[in-house]
Structure 1
Amino acid sequence: MTPIAIVFLVLAVLVVWGGLVASLVFLRRRPERAGYPEGGVDDHRDDEAPPIRDT
Protein backbone atom coordinates (compact mmCIF):
# COMPACT_ATOMS: atom_id res chain seq x y z
CA MET A 1 0.00 0.00 0.00
CA THR A 2 1.15 3.48 -0.72
CA PRO A 3 1.68 5.95 2.13
CA ILE A 4 -1.30 8.07 1.01
CA ALA A 5 -3.55 5.00 1.11
CA ILE A 6 -2.40 4.21 4.63
CA VAL A 7 -3.07 7.80 5.71
CA PHE A 8 -6.58 7.69 4.28
CA LEU A 9 -7.20 4.29 5.89
CA VAL A 10 -6.15 5.58 9.30
CA LEU A 11 -8.23 8.72 8.83
CA ALA A 12 -11.32 6.71 7.88
CA VAL A 13 -10.88 4.36 10.83
CA LEU A 14 -10.52 7.31 13.20
CA VAL A 15 -13.65 8.98 11.84
CA VAL A 16 -15.80 5.84 12.09
CA TRP A 17 -14.58 4.61 15.48
CA GLY A 18 -14.31 8.16 16.83
CA GLY A 19 -17.95 8.77 15.94
CA LEU A 20 -18.94 5.54 17.66
CA VAL A 21 -17.02 6.46 20.81
CA ALA A 22 -18.42 10.00 20.80
CA SER A 23 -21.99 8.74 20.47
CA LEU A 24 -21.48 6.23 23.30
CA VAL A 25 -20.06 8.93 25.56
CA PHE A 26 -22.98 11.23 24.74
CA LEU A 27 -25.51 8.48 25.49
CA ARG A 28 -23.80 7.63 28.78
CA ARG A 29 -23.97 11.27 29.90
CA ARG A 30 -27.57 11.92 28.80
CA PRO A 31 -29.33 8.58 28.33
CA GLU A 32 -32.90 9.88 28.20
CA ARG A 33 -34.51 13.14 27.22
CA ALA A 34 -35.49 15.19 30.27
CA GLY A 35 -38.52 16.96 28.81
CA TYR A 36 -40.73 16.86 25.77
CA PRO A 37 -42.40 19.74 23.92
CA GLU A 38 -46.07 20.54 24.32
CA GLY A 39 -48.66 18.87 22.11
CA GLY A 40 -48.22 15.22 22.98
CA VAL A 41 -51.95 14.49 22.74
CA ASP A 42 -53.02 11.47 20.70
CA ASP A 43 -55.00 12.65 17.67
CA HIS A 44 -56.07 9.12 16.58
CA ARG A 45 -54.47 9.29 13.14
CA ASP A 46 -53.63 5.60 13.38
CA ASP A 47 -57.33 4.77 13.54
CA GLU A 48 -57.80 5.62 9.86
CA ALA A 49 -56.53 3.30 7.14
CA PRO A 50 -53.80 4.64 4.89
CA PRO A 51 -54.89 5.73 1.41
CA ILE A 52 -54.64 3.08 -1.29
CA ARG A 53 -52.97 4.21 -4.49
CA ASP A 54 -52.65 2.26 -7.74
CA THR A 55 -49.42 3.64 -9.12
Structure 2
Amino acid sequence: MTGLAIAFLILSITIVWGGLVASILFLRSRPEPAEYPPGGVDDHREDIGPAERDT
Protein backbone atom coordinates (compact mmCIF):
# COMPACT_ATOMS: atom_id res chain seq x y z
CA MET A 1 0.00 0.00 0.00
CA THR A 2 1.18 3.45 -0.78
CA GLY A 3 1.23 6.27 1.70
CA LEU A 4 -1.68 7.96 -0.07
CA ALA A 5 -3.81 4.81 0.17
CA ILE A 6 -3.10 4.49 3.90
CA ALA A 7 -3.96 8.17 4.43
CA PHE A 8 -7.30 7.73 2.65
CA LEU A 9 -7.97 4.54 4.64
CA ILE A 10 -7.39 6.37 7.92
CA LEU A 11 -9.51 9.31 6.74
CA SER A 12 -12.42 7.09 5.75
CA ILE A 13 -12.26 5.08 8.99
CA THR A 14 -12.24 8.35 10.97
CA ILE A 15 -15.26 9.68 9.07
CA VAL A 16 -17.32 6.49 9.46
CA TRP A 17 -16.55 5.79 13.12
CA GLY A 18 -16.62 9.48 14.02
CA GLY A 19 -20.10 9.76 12.55
CA LEU A 20 -21.22 6.73 14.53
CA VAL A 21 -19.83 8.15 17.77
CA ALA A 22 -21.35 11.58 17.07
CA SER A 23 -24.79 10.09 16.37
CA ILE A 24 -24.65 7.98 19.55
CA LEU A 25 -23.72 11.02 21.64
CA PHE A 26 -26.48 13.08 20.02
CA LEU A 27 -29.11 10.41 20.72
CA ARG A 28 -27.92 10.05 24.31
CA SER A 29 -28.41 13.79 24.89
CA ARG A 30 -31.86 13.94 23.19
CA PRO A 31 -33.47 10.47 23.33
CA GLU A 32 -37.12 11.49 22.76
CA PRO A 33 -38.65 14.45 20.90
CA ALA A 34 -40.12 17.03 23.25
CA GLU A 35 -43.26 17.38 21.15
CA TYR A 36 -44.61 15.74 18.06
CA PRO A 37 -45.77 17.53 14.92
CA PRO A 38 -49.49 17.54 14.08
CA GLY A 39 -50.55 14.10 12.90
CA GLY A 40 -47.58 12.50 14.61
CA VAL A 41 -47.47 9.54 16.94
CA ASP A 42 -48.90 11.20 20.05
CA ASP A 43 -51.87 13.19 18.71
CA HIS A 44 -54.65 11.34 20.63
CA ARG A 45 -56.69 10.33 17.59
CA GLU A 46 -57.12 6.65 18.43
CA ASP A 47 -60.72 6.53 17.19
CA ILE A 48 -60.04 7.87 13.72
CA GLY A 49 -58.85 5.16 11.35
CA PRO A 50 -57.35 5.44 7.89
CA ALA A 51 -59.66 6.23 4.99
CA GLU A 52 -60.94 3.08 3.28
CA ARG A 53 -61.89 3.34 -0.37
CA ASP A 54 -63.17 0.77 -2.86
CA THR A 55 -61.04 1.19 -5.93
Cα-to-partner distance string for 1:16-46 (whole Å, 9 max, x where unaligned): 000000000000100000101224446522x
SS in 2 for 1:44: coil
Aligned to 2:28: 28
Instruction: Return the alpha-carbon distance in structure 1 between the equivalents of residues 52 and 11 of structure 2.
Output: 50
Identical amino acids, percent of aligned pairs: 55
TM-score by length of 1: 0.71
When the two chains are superposed, the root-mean-square deviation of aligned CA atoms in Å is 2.3
Aligned to 1:7: 7
Instruction: Return the alpha-carbon distance in structure 1 between the equivalents of residues 13 and 39 of structure 2.
Output: 42
Instruction: Return the alpha-carbon distance in structure 2 between the equivalents of residues 6 and 48 of structure 1.
Output: 58
Q: Among residues 33, 44, 47, which one is paired with 2:49 in the alignment?
A: 44
Instruction: Return the alpha-carbon distance in structure 2 between the equivalents of residues 4 and 34 of structure 1.
Output: 46
Letter in 1 for 2:52: E
- By percentage of residues, which structure has more helix? 1
TM-score by length of 2: 0.71
Tell me how many residue pairs correspond in the alignment.
49
Gaps of 5+ in 1: none
